[in-house]
Amino acid sequence: MAATRLKGKRFRSVVADSNCLWEVKGSRGRGVFECEVVGDSWEHNGVTYPCDFAGRRDVFTRETIERHLAAAEWSRQSAQAHEGFYASLRHRQVVHYDDGFGGFIRCEVVIADEIHELDHPCVKKGERCLKTLALVGNWRSYDLQPNSYNVRLMGHRFKPNASCIYENPKAPCRERYADPQHLEPIELPEAAA
């Protein structure tokens, strides 16, 4: 990428504990570029905070900038594939979330009509998400205790990454495990209040 094509490009890179938005300001010669953190505010609980490092300048190599730009493009494509997969799911379709160790959470595709206290924060009103129905497959005894996360999750909604859903043709778990569709649900203890 020519120097003139990098000027003005924006990318993210870490400063202290922030993932700052940088802009390429110009070449410093021989594949090194001066960059500046641009004002990138963020919001939490309805309060907008300014970027702590706005105006900070540093130099980056062409390779580093291109690596950051490529990572951002990969993230964009991954998010697009994730949302595309959820958009392809039918309301009330049954799918299986893979825990990575042969255990699956059987789920039903629902539309989040309202948000409940125990729903995962990524669940947004009006979007497709998964409502947990049952645990199936190979779960360890400590995963089945009354206060374990998986037991308390039953009946609640979440939206795990599409790559963890067995019914996604691109899910890596399809190569490791048989289809969990016919596995019997595991009887769970009552979750403690």
24-68 pLDDT, tens per residue? Answer: 999 999 999 999 999 778 787 888 888 889 999 999 999 999 999
Q: Is residue 147 part of a domain?
A: yes
Which positions of the chain have pLDDT values less than 50? 1-3, 192-193
Domain limit, last residue, from 50, 85, 120: 85
What's the CA dihedral at 178, 152, 84, 20 to 10 degrees? Answer: -120
b/e per residue, 27-53, with b = 16+ CB within 10 A? beeeeebebbbbebeeeeeeeeeebeb
Report the pLDDT value the prediction gives residue 14, as an integer from 0 to 100. 92
Domain limit, last residue, from 36, 63, 85: 85
Question: Looking at the structure, do residues 121 and 176 belong to the same domain, yes or no?
Answer: yes
Question: Looking at the structure, do residues 170 and 102 belong to the same domain, yes or no?
Answer: yes
- Three-state secondary structure call for residue 162: helix
Question: Looking at the structure, do residues 95 and 65 belong to the same domain, yes or no?
Answer: no
Question: Looking at the structure, do residues 130 and 164 belong to the same domain, yes or no?
Answer: yes
Q: Is residue 188 part of a domain?
A: no
Domain limit, last residue, from 52, 85, 118: 85
Look up residue 107 and give its DSSP letter: E
Domain span including residue 102: 89-182
18-27 pLDDT, tens per residue? Answer: 889 999 999 9
Question: Looking at the structure, do residues 93 and 172 belong to the same domain, yes or no?
Answer: yes
